[in-house]
């Protein structure tokens, strides 16, 4: 593992690191913020999954999470959104597919199956790497994300409920199998059989019996993707039918940007930290 950069922030350390990934078969870069409490022993870890077109740097530069992470003693880890580099298949004319748009799934279709294994990377490989190299307590993990990353957080929590004590999201794509900006990517990654897509769709997972204790979701009412791509009412309906706790905050006038995310990031870090204690 290579250290790309380190900087002090709020008494802790913001680092960026790079390593060769076995899951994605290419170099991967990720960010780790260690709060000052990590100097005294392992701390809980909160994973943040970014949205379409993003890297680890978007939330690191604009997410404003470090003050809250330092206050609550939580490590904050932000992986990339997809494999990148020479030899990684991409579609540079489509911002909703390829590099920057891995959708946190393991692709099964050629030529994407070789590299686009973001579920395995985020759920298995990266936690093992972080656990071996940083003072974090992997028995206390939480996960959150934005947009495509919100989809990833919800589906990973529903798939591996024993791994995560908290799950929250900003403007998540709650039913990507039927959303116009995600269904085409699902077909290219997973094939035409839509039954295979259900394992990567939060509402379908809930319908199929997967459970998680509770979710926190913030959604801006001025989000231009609200009605066609995000549709939080579908998650609300699925959670109500399944008896899953859902706090859905509709934030009047907020859009899809990091101005929105940074405004409510403290709430999400505090909400996760409460569930990660003990």
Catalytic residue among 56, 210, 256, 268: 256
* pTM greater than 0.95: yes
Candidate list 80, 106, 218, 223, residue with the active-site label: 223
Matching residue, tokens 């199929």: 208
Sheet of 12-21, strand order: 2-9, 12-21, 26-34, 75-79, 43-49, 136-146, 164-170, 214-220, 245-251
Q: Mean pLDDT in each 10-residue stretch from start to end of the chain (278 residues)? A: 98 98 98 98 98 98 98 98 96 96 98 98 98 98 98 98 98 96 96 97 98 98 96 98 98 98 98 93
Whether 256 is catalytic is yes
Provide the CATH topology of domain 2-276.
Rossmann fold (3.40.50)
pLDDT digits (tens, 9 = 90+) for 76-87: 999 999 999 999
Which of 248, 249, 30, 271 has the alpha carbon at shortest distance from 144?
A: 271
Cα 111 from Cα 119, distance rounded (Å): 17
147 is catalytic: yes
pLDDT value, residue 181 = 87
Which residues are CB-contacts of 39 (< 8 A; sequence separation ≥ 6)? none
Q: Is 5 among the catalytic positions?
A: no
pLDDT of 46 reads: 98
Give the 3-state secondary structure percentages of the chain, helix then strand then coil, rounded to 5.
Answer: 35, 25, 35
Which of 147, 166, 177, 182 is catalytic? The answer is: 147
- Give dist(CA 216, CA 224) in Å, integer: 21
What pLDDT is stored for residue 278 in this prediction?
64
């Amino acid at each position: 593992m290579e250290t790309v950069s380190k900087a002090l922030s709020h008494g802790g350390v913001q680092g960026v690191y790079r390593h060769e990934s076995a899951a994605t078969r290419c170099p991967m870069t990720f960010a780790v913020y260690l709060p000052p409490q990590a100097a005294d022993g392992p701390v809980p870890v909160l994973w943040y999954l970014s949205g379409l077109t993003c890297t680890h740097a978007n939330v690191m530069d604009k997410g404003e999470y470090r003050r809250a992470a330092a206050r609550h003693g939580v490590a904050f880890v932000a992986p990339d959104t997809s494999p990148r580099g020479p030899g990684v298949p991409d579609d540079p004319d489509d911002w909703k597919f390829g590099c920057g748009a891995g959708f946190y799934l393991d692709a099964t279709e050629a030529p994407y199956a070789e590299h686009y294994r973001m579920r395995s990377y985020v759920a298995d490989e990266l936690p093992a790497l972080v656990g071996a190299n940083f003072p974090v307590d992997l028995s206390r993990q939480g996960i959150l994300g934005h947009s495509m990353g919100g989809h990833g957080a919800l589906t990973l929590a529903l798939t591996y409920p024993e791994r995560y004590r908290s799950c929250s999201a900003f403007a998540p794509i709650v039913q990507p199998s039927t959303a116009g900006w995600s269904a085409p990517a699902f077909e290219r990654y997973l094939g035409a059989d839509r039954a295979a897509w259900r394992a990567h769709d939060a509402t379908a997972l809930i319908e199929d019996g997967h459970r998680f204790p509770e979710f926190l979701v913030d959604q801006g009412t001025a989000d231009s993707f609200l009605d066609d791509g995000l549709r939080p009412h579908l998650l609300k309906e699925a959670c109500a039918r399944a008896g899953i706790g859902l706090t859905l905050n509709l934030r009047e006038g907020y859009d899809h940007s990091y101005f929105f995310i940074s405004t409510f990031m403290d709430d999400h870090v505090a909400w996760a930290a409460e569930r990660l204690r003990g």
